[in-house]
DNA sequence: TTGTACGCGTTATCAA
DNA sequence: TTGATAACGCGTACAA
């Protein structure tokens, strides 16, 4: 049996209250009782029960993170960054991978609404999950529009799209294809697409956007990319909406006997550590990951304290020029 | 104010007990009360308070995962796999990245011992954290020896080392360098090193193992790898102890003007999805990630139920032959 | 400086 | 078929 406050109290010959006071050092206490209590705590190897404390305090000091999947480097690195910072603020982190399955996401949400977490950071791609609406749980979203009540943290997606597209055009590309997620999803990511299309048109070219579901197996993605090369033998550049896709495209191009950048210019998006180090040659739009994480946490804490927040935080991106485009 | 059981009870004109019964459908209930209760629940948008339930039930249905960092693809993919399976079993997942910082790891551990989680899956690389010893928390370890009480799940590290080394030797390599973590850490990973050294010696060659801390920034790793090429201009193969390191080495070799596999043979370890798809050419020892995840969960559940378990579970590896070695 | 008694929101026992 | 009541383990008014 796990010892509880009462057991410690008995052993130290004091009341529960006193033990509690000693452990949370509140109020006046004689050095003698303090010592006796700590002695008893050690003797019994007492560990306080957090759950009881959570119930009393009505807070868990746990923040939920809801992302498509941390197996993807962008969300893996983002989650690691969030965890690091939240840990320093005394929070723990509960992670849910929605796998872009609306059922799973709604289920997680329902679970987390039950006072299981104090707040939520969401970066999933589903829409129309009604649970978000009538919840009073503090929530911030990363790269996702939810509803008016929920602040969004995002990198400057539009500018990122402009940077990438302009860069490819400046390199002399004429037929540039863009890959992006399903258009139904009203996410800030769509601004990359919009920027791409606007820019392409501004230069008198024709936009071609190919839909690639974010959350399908790599092998499926590769099939889609292979098909792109079949359908557009004359294409000379691709602006991929994330680094992993860009890396996969690079691989597929290689398999197709295409040389990057000689036969194909390529620009990615994200600038994750891993891809930047494994494929430093990949030209890509770099998102400020640490800044995104920090902003999300700052804003969430404001929500936690019932302080007002903005509804949108747009953070600057930069273009990393490699050799692929 | 959040509605509680009592509020629902009042509105439905029944007792707390009845409401609880309806929601957990236990015992006999008239259809009429059932309807009335659900009506009230809906009207108040009642959400049960999990923490109160956790306190009573003395379990949280949360499993803690303690890894070096989920930013690394191996642990990212492993965590995702664990989360998926635990979710299906009705568990949630609390993630801690130790960053191989013993203080942070010990702190997490102390926190999690306080009934915050029902069980723990650990894959960190620190040693000598005493908290593990006098805890009665069910724990399983992945690729890490802790103490006799804690079962270890691991891939067949020794055989993996043999496979990789033998393969390189069969390809004609004479001077093969191996990278591995600090030797002080008594982890199963060390068996890769042992296998490498045994095999090398069996063929009359000289083992050279270079220490690379797992948890340093990629940029630092690259420096070490660059130094290897400087120190050993005549080396003709590297067996890296994980895929990311292998990928980094590949990149560094390129920078050094070395062609893989013409000038350098390279074998990695892990077989993560991302690396296998981005660099399918990388020859590597593939760990059975799903099987590792499933075994860890199965064993943890046995521990949770106080059933006996083995102390070691060794899962088979396979050699993926790419073009790098 | 210390102790008594109650509440946090649930579930289960026992009685009705 | 339902309700009163006592736990679960902790923290804090309030009293002493």
Q: Minimal CA–CA distance to A65: which of A111, A97, A102, A91?
A: A97
Residues B174 and B188 in one domain: yes
Q: Is residue B187's pLDDT more than 90?
A: no
Considering the domain architecture, whether residues B142 and B163 belong to the same structural domain is answered as: no
Residue B188 — very low, low, confident or very high, per pLDDT cuts 50/70/90? Answer: confident
Average the pLDDT over A165-189 and give the result: 90
Domain around A88: 62-155+289-316
**B55 inside domain:** no
Taking every pair of Cα atoms in chain A, the longest distance, rounded to a whole number of angstroms, is: 86
Higher pLDDT among residues A292 and B101, named by residue: A292
The 10s digit of each residue's pLDDT in B112-156 is 888 899 999 999 877 667 777 667 889 999 998 888 889 999 999
User: Measured from the CB, is A24 under 7 Å from any atom of strand C?
Assistant: no
Tell which B residues from 146 to 205 touch A, by Cβ distance under 8 Å.
none
Give the mean pLDDT of A58-82. Answer: 96
Q: How confident is the model at residue A243 (pLDDT cuts 50, 70, 90)?
A: very high
Beta bridge partners of B96: B66
CATH code where residue B36 lies: 1.10.260.40
- Assign B80 a pLDDT band (cuts: 50, 70, 90): very high
- For residues A188 and A283, membership in a common domain is answered with yes
Question: In the predicted model, is pLDDT for residue B279 greater than 90?
Answer: yes
For residues A135 and A219, state if they share a domain.
Answer: no
Nearest nucleotide to A53 by CA–C1' distance? D10
> What value does the mean pLDDT take over residues A195-207?
96
Q: Which pair of tokens denotes residue A120?
A: 């939520």
Q: Does B94 touch chain A (CB under 8 A)?
A: yes
**Paired residues of A266 in beta bridges:** A238
pLDDT reading at A67 higher than 70? yes
What is the reported pLDDT for A260?
A: 92
C13: residue with closest CA to C1': B17
State whether A178 and A234 are in the same domain. Answer: yes
| Residue B223, C-beta contacts closer than 8 angstroms, at least 6 positions apart | none
B63 has pLDDT over 90? yes
| pLDDT beyond 80 at B215 | yes
Name the closest residue (CA) to the C1' of nucleotide C7: A56
Mean local confidence (pLDDT), A194-205 = 96
Structure token pair of residue A185: 């999803």
Residue A188 above 90 pLDDT?
A: no
Q: If you measure CA to CA, which chain A residue comes closest to B137? A: A2
- State yes or no: pLDDT of A4 exceeds 80: yes
Report yes or no: B243 and A273 within 8 Å, Cβ to Cβ: no
Hey, are the CB atoms on A218 and B244 less than 8 Å from each other?
no
With 80 as the cut, is the pLDDT of residue A133 above it? Answer: no
**Average pLDDT of chain B, as a whole number:** 92
Q: Residue A47, CA: closest nucleotide via C1'?
A: D9
- Once rounded to an integer, what is the mean pLDDT over residues A136-151? 89
Q: Are residues B146 and B192 in the same domain?
A: no
Residues B243 and B279 grouped into a single domain? yes
Looking at residue B185, what is its pLDDT?
67
Interchain proximity B95–A83, CB inside 8 Å: yes
- Nearest Cβ partner for B95 among A77, A95, A104: A95
The predicted pLDDT at position A49 comes to: 94
Does the structure show a pLDDT above 90 at B299?
yes
How many separate domains does chain B show? 3
Cβ distance A229 to A171 under 8 Å? Answer: no
């Amino acid at each position: 049996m796990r010892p509880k406050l009462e057991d410690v109290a008995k052993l130290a010959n004091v009341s529960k209250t006193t033990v509690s006071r000693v452990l949370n050092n509140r109020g006046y206490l004689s050095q003698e009782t303090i010592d006796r209590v700590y002695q008893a705590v050690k003797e019994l190897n007492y560990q306080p029960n957090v759950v009881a404390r959570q119930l009393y305090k009505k807070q868990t000091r746990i923040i939920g993170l809801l992302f498509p999947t941390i197996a993807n480097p962008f969300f893996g690195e983002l989650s690691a960054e969030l965890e690091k910072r939240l840990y320093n603020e005394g929070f723990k982190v509960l992670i849910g991978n929605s796998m872009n399955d609306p059922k799973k996401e709604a289920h997680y949400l329902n679970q987390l609404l039950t006072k299981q977490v104090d707040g939520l950071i969401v970066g999933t791609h589903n829409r129309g999950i009604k649970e978000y609406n009538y919840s009073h749980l503090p929530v911030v979203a990363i790269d996702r529009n939810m509803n008016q009540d929920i602040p969004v943290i995002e990198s400057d997606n539009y500018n990122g799209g402009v940077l990438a597209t302009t860069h490819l055009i400046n390199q002399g590309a004429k037929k540039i294809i863009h890959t992006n997620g399903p258009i139904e999803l009203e996410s800030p990511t769509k601004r990359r697409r919009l920027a791409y299309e606007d820019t392409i048109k501004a230069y008198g070219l024709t936009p071609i956007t190919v839909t690639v579901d974010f959350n399908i197996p790599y092998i499926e993605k590769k099939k889609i990319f292979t098909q792109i090369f079949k359908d557009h033998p004359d294409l000379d550049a691709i602006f991929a909406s994330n680094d992993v896709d860009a890396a996969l495209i690079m691989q597929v191009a290689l398999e197709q006997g295409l040389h990057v950048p000689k036969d194909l210019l390529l620009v990615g998006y994200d600038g994750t550590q891993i891809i930047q180090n494994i494929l430093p040659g990949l030209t890509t739009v770099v998102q400020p990951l640490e800044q995104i994480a920090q902003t999300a946490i700052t804003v969430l804490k404001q929500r936690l304290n019932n302080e007002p927040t903005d509804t949108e935080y747009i953070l600057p991106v930069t273009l990393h020029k490699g050799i692929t485009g």
